[in-house]
A and B are shown apart, each in its own frame.
Chain A
């Protein structure tokens, strides 16, 4: 069972039955704490007020469960059930719901680090250098000069 909020294994399972309607909520410890269900103190005791608020408040919040990815047809609710996305386009289709989730998991929503474009540029440079070599060997010095300038330009871009 996965946590309703962050998709990690849930350790807290809440069920309430009102007028024969059953509602369930599964949470991990971290998210339970975040919603003040479990106090930080030494005795693990449920905060009933927070619990009631959380369950009563659930249907009122904007419901992203109905979102559907136009590319793969995955519904957001299905993603919440097993924690796996269907295709790369889900990140845009579910963006509004995913951003807060990603922020909770990673405490960040914007990628830092390696990008494929760096690799593209390296691959391009390799090709240009190969061509330069060929031009020099073939004594095509005008071509070589042009290639050299393009390589310098690309290298300057970092």
Chain B
């Protein structure tokens, strides 16, 4: 597969059109699964990992996953830029890209909604992504993918402990459901810490954009469950749904307060963000994320003309390091990337002719 063909697409998680898209960027559910009769990937030999890869590849090819059939690509033989590209598109983890070794890979469909990582920490990491708030739809789909894979593979399952995983923090359902939220107004009004403290008490985890250990940039947060043993998938999904509905309410209230009490200041902030994005000659990915966050909020507060939310998503993904280098068609170091990023943004915004109200 030539990964460059993905470049013009936004992928399912950045489609920007799902339910509650003003706050919820995307929903993701992953299931950790392992094959019985094999050591976990971390202790498997090269030969065993290769056997696992073959079995899963075969299962993917023959499983009933129509009409969106995933295609398998090996990550082991892949160029570093391509690996980084897949990380940025959320199709593989950083670990699979850069830390792990030996036979490993990922199968994903052209919508970039379903992805199946092979020989990550667990033999299989099934993942379904959906635009907006869509826990039920995501569950229905991953349940179906899981069944289809299970009819071709023998999973390691224990009567008491459920689906067995390499790390005991995932055992049981093996399910991690996470919802990515854009929460700029809670950040501006300094309520975000309060919200997150409440979350920790009910065993939900807050992470930054690129998962474990990554810091929250651009006001994007992922909220996910921690518990996988002793609570059914449905119960966990209900718990997350209830919390997200609450946070949605808080964020929307905070946005209304912003418009009511400091509209001019917000308008200025959004205008300056557009101004900087459209005129800088050097810009880091971090600053781009911060500014795009302001623009995204500006769109939803109607402080900005002519800019659809999907454009922000496009600028967001295309200014990530690997995407940028693919767009420019040449490898770039840090400084060159900052210049190329600024050039890309200038051109795009000029094309769009966007201006503040």
* Interface residues, chain A, with chain B CB atoms under 8 Å away: 7-8, 72, 74, 83-88, 91-92, 98, 101-102, 105-116, 119-120, 122-123
A-B contacts, CB under 8 A, total: 114
Task: Return the 6 tightest CB-CB contacts between A and B, nearest first.
Answer: A108-B230, A111-B162, A113-B232, A88-B156, A106-B229, A87-B39
Q: B43 contacts A87, CB within 8 Å?
A: yes
Interface residues of chain B: helix, strand, loop or mixed (majority): loop
Q: B173 contacts A111, CB within 8 Å?
A: yes
Q: B172 contacts A106, CB within 8 Å?
A: yes
Contact with A along B16-42 (1 / 0, CB 8 A): 000000000000000000101011101
Is B78's CB within 8 Å of the partner chain A?
Answer: no
Q: How far is the CB of B357 from chain A (nearest CB, A)?
A: 46
**Of B121, B169, B173, which is within 8 A of A113 by CB?**
B173
Q: B160 contacts A84, CB within 8 Å?
A: no
Interface residues of chain A: helix, strand, loop or mixed (majority): loop
CA of A107 to CA of B230, assembled, Å: 7
Q: B167 contacts A84, CB within 8 Å?
A: yes
CA of A119 to CA of B153, assembled, Å: 11
Task: Report if A7-B43 is in contact (Cβ < 8 Å); known contacts: A109-B230, A110-B160, A111-B162.
Answer: no
Q: B42 contacts A84, CB within 8 Å?
A: yes
CA of A106 to CA of B172, assembled, Å: 10
Instruction: Chain B residues near A116: list those with CB within 8 A.
Output: 150, 155, 157
Instruction: Chain B residues near A115: list those with CB within 8 A.
Output: 157, 162
Q: How far is the CB of B270 from chain A (nearest CB, A)?
A: 38
Q: A86 contacts B39, CB within 8 Å?
A: yes
Is B290's CB within 8 Å of the partner chain A?
Answer: no
Q: B233 contacts A88, CB within 8 Å?
A: no
- Residues 171-220 of B contacting A (Cβ, < 8 Å): 171-173, 175, 203
Is B228's CB within 8 Å of the partner chain A?
Answer: yes
> 14 A-B residue contacts at CB 8 Å?
A7-B167, A7-B168, A72-B43, A83-B168, A84-B43, A85-B166, A87-B43, A91-B158, A91-B161, A91-B171, A110-B229, A112-B232, A113-B162, A113-B232
